């Protein structure tokens, strides 16, 4: 990891709503994966972007190709998911929504259904071990794979929405934002919404996607991933901003991801400032804690130091994230109680 956050940020109870499973693999877990598959000749520099390093978005997506080669069996997925959940818990994350794109393998016999079941098993295993975190799962659509796969993914997610004891709560749309067009995915996204899956959509992650963002905002989604180029100052438009505000759609904001992926020039120019000043629900997240060598404590600390937030403001930020979770009201209540119980300890 690039740095370790101060005690306050580590002890702060946190909600993580934007974490891609295979982007969240730590160095420690990566070592285990590499030793399982020495023939792939993978080095650490191929799976993570260190301090001060920047990559183009295309280069970042190459990193996922390498990680996917390393994580291709049920056993790998189980290990990765349990490790990632334990690491978030150790960082003070008390509620986590993980997202991942189901993959299948011709050689490994892995199916997309088994993929989702394995992640669910990992969540249950951590619960049984008493890891202090509640975890939910969003099934991800990779936009590169087009209409048909998107529709299949929605069907799979719907199946699990009904059979996973509330662990699968929604759908994510992600993948290389420059590939494909969301209009081809609208029927699948509408279907998802109609069957009760919550929607978190990556949108306006890169410039000049107003038309696509407008279509997606009309659904409307339940949360937005990044939304970097929605506002007029960066080439978006007031009408896009108005749609977000009118529907009160929370934003998932990932500072280090955007800096290292070069969609934002520096921390102080991050769009957190724009939305936070509007008082709009903005949730600090990691995106890919493994690839970007960060954790949620560090992201909160970066937001606080960059934008001059007091400890009280940081506390409020983490507490308000509870209202943006996809799990039902009872979970929100439980989490709010947890925050109240911990407040004294964190501020002592
Ligand atoms: C390249 C870059 C700056 C990354 C951050 N921004 C992202 N934008 C869109 N999709 C993403 C991003 N990070 C991860 N993903 C998605 O998450 C996948 C990895 O996690 P998983 O295999 O779904 O478990 C990637 O293949 C991609 O589909
Ligand atoms: Zn993302």
Confidence (pLDDT) at 300: 98
pLDDT at 154: 98
Residue nearest to ligand 1 atom 3, measured at CA: 261
Q: Evaluate whether residue 224 is within a structural domain.
A: yes
User: Which residues does ligand 1 sit against, CB inside 6 Å?
Assistant: 20-23, 57, 60-61, 64, 100-101, 140, 142, 174-175, 202, 205, 257, 261, 287-288
Distance 262 CA to ligand 2 centre (A): 14
* Residue percentage of the chain with pLDDT more than 90: 94
DSSP secondary structure letters along 173-207 = EES-TTSS-GGGGHHHHHHHHHTT-EEEEEESSSS
* Ligand 2 mean position, distance from CA 347 (Å): 31
pLDDT over 90 at 345, yes or no = yes
Nearest-atom index, ligand 1, CA of 202: 9
- Quote the domain boundaries for residue 249: 4-337
Residue 263 lies in a domain: yes
- Of all protein residues, the one whose alpha carbon is nearest to atom 28 of ligand 1 is 175
Asked whether residue 19 is assigned to any structural domain, the reply reads yes
Q: Where does the pLDDT of residue 301 fall: very low under 50, low under 70, confident under 90, or very high at 90 and above?
A: very high
How far does the centroid of ligand 2 lie from the alpha carbon of residue 94, in Å? 20
Q: How far is Cα 28 from Cα 147, in angstroms, rounded to an integer?
A: 37
Pocket test for ligand 1, best of 17, 18, 20 (most atoms within 8 A of CB): 20
pLDDT above 90 for 106: no
| Cα Rg of the chain, angstroms | 19
Which of 42-51, 208-217, 269-278, 279-288 bottoms out in mean pLDDT, i.e. has the lowest? 42-51
**What's residue 60's pLDDT?**
86
Q: Does 321 map to a domain?
A: yes
Whether 160 is in a domain gets the answer: yes
Domain annotation covers residue 345: no
pLDDT at 2: 80
Closest atom, ligand 1, to C-alpha of 57: 1
Whether residue 343 lies inside any domain: the answer is: no
Closest atom of ligand 1 relative to the 65 alpha carbon: 26
Helices 74-90 and 112-129: angle between axes, nearest 10 degrees: 40
Residue 339: the pLDDT is 98
pLDDT of residue 151: 98
* pLDDT (0 to 100) of residue 307: 98
Which residues fall within 8 angstroms of residue 210, CB to CB, at 6 or more apart? 204, 235, 236, 237, 240
Which residues fall within 8 angstroms of residue 302, CB to CB, at 6 or more apart?
255, 256, 267
Task: Supply the CATH number for residue 151's domain.
Answer: 3.20.20.140
Q: Is the CB of residue 192 less than 8 Å from the CB of residue 157? A: yes
User: Minimal CA–CA distance to 134: which of 83, 177, 96, 174?
Assistant: 96
Average pLDDT, the chain: 97
3-state secondary structure 31-50: HHHHHHCHHHCCCHHHCCCC
Residues with Cβ < 8 Å from 295, sequence gap 6 or more?
A: 1, 5, 87, 91, 286, 289
Mean pLDDT for 246-261 is 97
Confidence band, pLDDT 50/70/90 cuts, at residue 13: very high
pLDDT at 55 over 90: no
Distance 225 CA to ligand 2 centre (A): 6
For residue 61, tell me if it sits in a domain. yes
Cα atoms found within 13 Å of the Cα of residue 125, Cβ hemisphere only: 15
Binned at pLDDT 50, 70 and 90, residue 57 comes out as: confident
Select from 117, 82, 79 the least CA-distant residue to 96.
Answer: 82
CB atoms within 10 A of CB 319: 18
Q: Which of helix, strand or coil describes residue 96? A: strand
| pLDDT higher than threshold 90 for residue 1 | no
- Whether the per-residue pLDDT at 44 is higher than 90: the answer is no
By annotation, the residues acting in catalysis are 205
The total number of residues written for the chain in this structure: 348
Q: How many domains does the chain have?
A: 1
The structure tokens listed for 234 are: 């960066």
What is the 110 CA–ligand 2 centroid distance (Å)?
24
Ligand number with the minimum distance to the CA of 57: 1
Q: What is the pLDDT of residues 141-183, one digit of tens each?
A: 999 999 999 999 999 999 999 999 999 999 999 999 999 999 9
């Amino acid at each position: 990891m690039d740095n370790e956050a101060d005690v306050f940020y580590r002890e702060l109870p946190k909600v993580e709503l934007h974490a891609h499973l295979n982007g969240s693999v730590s160095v420690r877990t990566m070592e285990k994966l590499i030793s399982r598959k020495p023939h792939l000749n993978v080095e650490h520099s191929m799976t993570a972007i260190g301090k001060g390093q920047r990559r183009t978005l295309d280069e970042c997506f190459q990193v996922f190709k390498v990680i996917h080669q390393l994580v291709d069996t049920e056993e790998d997925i189980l290990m990765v998911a349990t490790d990632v959940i334990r690491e978030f818990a150790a960082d003070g994350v008390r509620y986590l929504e993980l997202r991942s794109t189901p993959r299948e393998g011709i050689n490994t016999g892995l199916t997309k259904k088994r993929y989702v079941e394995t992640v669910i098993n990992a969540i249950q295993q951590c619960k049984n071990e008493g890891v202090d975190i509640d975890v939910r799962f969003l099934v991800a659509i990779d936009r590169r794979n087009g209409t048909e796969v998107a529709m299949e993914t929605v069907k799979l997610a719907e199946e699990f929405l009904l059979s996973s004891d509330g662990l699968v709560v929604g759908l994510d749309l992600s993948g290389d934002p420059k590939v494909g067009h969301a209009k081809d995915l609208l029927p699948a996204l509408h279907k998802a919404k109609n069957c009760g899956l919550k929607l978190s959509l990556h949108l306006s992650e890169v410039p000049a996607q107003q038309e696509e963002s407008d279509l997606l905002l009309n659904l409307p989604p339940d949360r937005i991933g990044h939304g970097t180029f929605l506002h007029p100052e960066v080439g978006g438009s007031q009408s896009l901003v108005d749609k977000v505000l009118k529907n009160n759609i929370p934003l998932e904001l990932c500072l280090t991801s955007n800096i290292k992926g070069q969609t934002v020039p520096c921390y102080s120019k991050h769009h957190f400032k724009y939305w936070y000043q509007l008082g709009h629900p903005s949730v600090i997240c990691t995106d890919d804690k493994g690839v970007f060598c960060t954790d949620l404590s560090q992201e909160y600390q970066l937001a606080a130091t960059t934008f001059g937030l007091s400890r009280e403001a940081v506390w409020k930020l983490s507490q308000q994230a509870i209202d943006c979770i996809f799990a039902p009201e009872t979970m929100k209540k439980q989490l709010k109680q947890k925050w109240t119980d911990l407040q004294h300890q964190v501020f002592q």
